[in-house]
Structure 1
Amino acid sequence: MSKYILSLDQGTTSSRAIVFDKKGSIVSIAQKEFTQYFPKPGWVEHDPIEIWSSQAGVAAEAIAKNGLDVEHIAAIGITNQRETVVVWDKNTGKPVYNAIVWQDKRTSDYCDQLKNEGKAELIKKKQD
């Protein structure tokens, strides 16, 4: 009988999976850190394959704890790390490059240029 919720949390420094029961109590937790890459000053990247494999691993680990299996999971909730971006090749399903992490500052000069050109309000307006 499905009676648990699996929460997948993809954070900035680790992948985490938490299994909750119907009352919202934590049944099990699994967590695994992954590598952060800093190829240049201000750049922050993650390997998308490592993100995927670490998330799959902690999900399986959290479910297996306490003798659970996938048939016990009624629903899955997913959270992610803000505006981190991965570009995938639509033909192969593989990442084109590393994930560019929300902390990355490689476009800060361009953002300053837009602000200096008076476009900050336009950008804010597009978000609303």
Structure 2
Amino acid sequence: MSATRILAIDQGTTSSRAIVFDLDGSMVSTAQQELDQIYPQPGWVEHDPESIWNTTLAVCRQVINQVGNNIAAIGITNQRETVLLWDKVSGRPIHNAIVWQDRR
């Protein structure tokens, strides 16, 4: 059986979302989880990188559990110019992600 679904992943500023479409472009399944904003100082906006990963993973798992694993392709969108640094040895984040809305 050939794959017949397309998974769209939208990791946005306020939420992580996954949508599965069939090959005709009809939506088959969707899941979304909110993402908390962190404001350490006025004008600063950050996200917890683990929360970005965990919410994205959770919504992808949710839609795949609903429609099966016959995914033919994946499309990904993300949060503009949000910046994240990680340790090259461990792969772990060094700091919160600096969100594109940040004014520092």
Normalised TM-score (structure 2): 0.96
Larger helix percent: 1
How far, CA to CA, are the matches of 1:34 and 1:101 in structure 2? 12
The answer for the alignment partner of 2:78 in structure 1 is 80
The answer for the alignment partner of 2:46 in structure 1 is 45
- Paired-residue identity, %: 60
How far, CA to CA, are the matches of 2:29 and 2:11 in structure 1? 17
Q: Which runs of 5+ in 1 are unaligned?
A: 107-128
Q: Which structure has the greater CA radius of gyration?
A: 1
Q: What letter matches 1:7 in structure 2?
A: A
Moved over 2 A (4+): none
Normalised TM-score (structure 1): 0.79
- Please tell me the root mean square deviation across aligned C-alpha atoms, in Å: 0.7
The answer for the alignment partner of 2:100 in structure 1 is 102
How far, CA to CA, are the matches of 1:37 and 1:30 in structure 2? 23
Aligned pair count reads: 103
How far, CA to CA, are the matches of 2:68 and 2:83 in structure 1? 31
How far, CA to CA, are the matches of 1:74 and 1:101 in structure 2? 31
Deviations for 1:83-128, whole angstroms, at most 9, x for unmatched residues? 001001100000010000000000xxxxxxxxxxxxxxxxxxxxxx
Q: Residues 2-81 of structure 1 correspond to what in structure 2 (within 5 A)?
A: 2-65=3-66, 68-70=67-69, 72-81=70-79
Secondary structure of the structure 2 residue equivalent to 1:50: helix
How far, CA to CA, are the matches of 1:86 and 1:3 in structure 2? 34
Post-superposition shift, 1:69?
A: 2.1
How far, CA to CA, are the matches of 1:53 and 1:3 in structure 2? 26
How far, CA to CA, are the matches of 2:59 and 2:23 in structure 1? 21
